[in-house]
Chain A
Amino acid sequence: MLRYTARRLALLGLTLLVASVLIFAMTTVLPGDIGRIILGPFAQEEAVAALNESLGLNQPLPVQYVQWMGGVLQGDWGESLSLNTPVLPLALERLGRSLMLAALAIALLIPLAIGAGVAAGRRPGGKLDRVLSVGGLALGAMPEFVTGVVLIVVFGIALDWFPVQAVAGRDAGFWQVIHGLFLPAMCLVLLLFAYLFRMTRAGMITALEADFTRTARLKGLPERIVLRRHVLRNALLPTVTVIGAQLGWLVGGLVVVESLFRYPGIGSLLHNAASNKDIPLLAGCTLLVTLVFSVANLTADLLYGLLNPRVRDAIGD
């Protein structure tokens, strides 16, 4: 387990290194003249040159990268150009809101998808299985804003069960907040449902056909106990890693869903930064999102290794 963890941590380090270089390259090198972007097309040439000088943009790129990284590590993430506030506190506050939305989505998703997968996997090819498989596949391939628009029109406008804008008032109670977040969370659930469902279903089918299940049945154990002790435990293992792998889609989904529902999370902040060409804010948000995402991925992988000794040993050696 130690070797596995060490290997996985090394991969995390590499990922973050590549990510930071990529973000640096795309936000510093590609846009070209930063001073020109800040001051606009009508500024004088000397003013642009002076600003570039003061921002340290005339130094060689590796030096700039090290300076930028040093600032990031010390908590100096620069200032947003469009909002004139430091990037880090703003991004952290928005991240908190996004995590709340993501947590609600995952809390709804896991019981729904696993329940459906277990039910469908018990009778593969049955009517329930076919409906869930085809429906899940179609919904999972649908962009979030498409399902979101349909959800808004049906449940937000026609039935008027849920608010169209996700953000509840400052003094709103817990249930009011959940109520407001329900539609955007459902959007994310529909996006992620298909994959998780399919993995659970496949796991169920394999475990049901396995020898240990037959042995348990032949021993005369009641079906309920066979399912709980022998089938479910083995069937749900692969599902755990899949939840980790799906976090990437969840993050992408947050950008879209938050914009659609006008929810002030990190996704909509990222979107705003991109539309306003607010480079420091964009770099900061991307970095923060990548960091959170990588750590979550790591946790899922370690959890899987902990649950399944076979993987741990195979990868460790």
Chain B
Amino acid sequence: MVALWIVTALFAPWVAPHEPTSMGVGPTMAPPSLTHWFGTDEYGRDILSRVIHGGRYVLAIAPASTLLGLVIGTLIGLVAAYNGRWLDEGIMRLLDAVMAFPIVVLALLALTALGSSTLNVILVIGLVFAPLIARTARAAALTEVRKEYVEAARLRGEGYFGVLMVEIAPNIRGPLLVEGTIRLGYAVFTSATLGFLGLGVQPPAPDWGLMVASSRSLLTTAPWAVLAPALAIGFVVIGFSLIADGLRDLESQ
């Protein structure tokens, strides 16, 4: 499922039968037919083409923001675990406080303040995910920092970040990988939600969440215009949660 999505999104300009933003390629609000598989929307745009192109935004946003969250989160988690004591306590309490914000509300606030753009969406999702990843990284690193190879590296004269990134980080990659995959699924979820709320990519771009929101008023007259992008999101999200589930099983064996 994920592979199908990645391939169609990458080759969207060749796979999609029409330009995603060109209006009047068919009649307006036509139900699904052989010429327009998913039907057309209120401007006569081909929904199948829009759904295929829409995959590209998610493909760009989800991995980039997850990677950003992983890098920042891992760094914070490692610093907390390695230094221990008051720095650890301070960092974790601060993260608890930040995590007390509901994620969507935090992202809503930040994007309103910063303005909506694809880059800002990536930054915001990455930053709100970082505390959660930091927690996982810290928990995994806590057992590692007491081991002898860390002490050995320190005595060998390796620098602070050398010990963190070269010695400890590779040894906690298992839990981080699982956490990363779970976050990737949630990144799809969050970016779609932000699109739906109109805080992500701006119209007329064919973002899935945005398509659902803008066709909301057509629900009674042309439900396919809303269903197609909604189901596309569902499809990708299920794919991710199956992968995450499989990885978790592998990890626990």
Contacts and interface: CB of A to CB of B under 8 A. Distances in A.
Nearest to A13: B97
- Decide if the interface of chain A is mainly helix, strand, loop or mixed: helix
A152 B102 contact: no
A22 interface: yes
A290 B105 contact: yes
Given A142-B233, A274-B197, A282-B109, A137 B103 contact: no
B221 to A, nearest CB: 10
A153 B219 contact: yes
Given A141-B240, A145-B230, A15 B97 contact: yes
Interface in B176-202: 185-186, 189, 192-193, 196-199
A274 B213 CA distance: 15
A141 B233 CA distance: 10
A289 B102 contact: yes
A23 B227 CA distance: 36
Given A157-B219, A251-B102, A294-B100, A150 B230 contact: yes
Given A143-B209, A275-B198, A256 B104 contact: yes
B17 interface: no
A27 B109 contact: yes
A26 interface: yes
Interface in A107-147: 137-138, 141-146
A164 B109 contact: no
A145 B102 contact: no
Contacts of B103: 248, 252
B212 interface: yes
A199 to B, nearest CB: 16
Given A14-B93, A19-B101, A248-B103, A274 B199 contact: yes
Interface stretch (B47-55, B62-70, B110-118): B110-118
A183 to B, nearest CB: 12
B197 A256 contact: yes
B110 A26 contact: yes
Interface residues of B, number: 46
Name the residue in B101, B103, B110, B240 with the highest tally of chain A Cβ atoms < 10 Å from its Cβ. Answer: B101
Interface in A180-230: none
A98 interface: no
B71 interface: no
Contacts, number: 146
B227 A145 contact: no
A31 B226 CA distance: 33
A256 B230 CA distance: 14
A27 B104 contact: no
A209 to B, nearest CB: 17
A251 B199 CA distance: 18
B97 A271 contact: no
Nearest to A262: B216
A118 B69 CA distance: 36
B151 interface: no
B13 interface: no
A141 B238 contact: yes
B100 A297 contact: yes
A252 B102 contact: yes
Interface string A17-53: 1110011001100110000000000000000000000
Given A18-B98, A150-B230, A152-B219, A255 B113 contact: no
A274 B240 contact: no
Name the residue in B93, B223, B240 with the highest tally of chain A Cβ atoms < 10 Å from its Cβ. Answer: B223
Given A31-B113, A293-B100, A141 B105 contact: no
A64 interface: no
B150 interface: no
A100 interface: no
Contacts of A11: 93, 96-97
A157 B101 contact: no
Nearest to B95: A18
A157 B220 contact: yes
A143 B192 contact: yes
B134 to A, nearest CB: 15
Contacts of B110: 26
Contacts of B193: 143-145, 252, 256
21 contacts: A15-B96, A18-B98, A18-B100, A19-B101, A26-B113, A30-B114, A141-B185, A141-B189, A142-B189, A142-B233, A142-B234, A145-B230, A146-B230, A156-B219, A249-B102, A252-B103, A252-B105, A255-B104, A271-B197, A273-B112, A290-B102
Give the top 8 A-B pairs by smallest Cβ distance, nearest first.
A252-B104, A30-B113, A18-B97, A251-B102, A15-B97, A141-B241, A248-B102, A26-B113
Given A31-B113, A149-B226, 13 more contacts: A137-B241, A144-B193, A149-B219, A150-B230, A150-B231, A157-B219, A259-B196, A270-B108, A274-B197, A286-B108, A290-B102, A290-B105, A297-B100
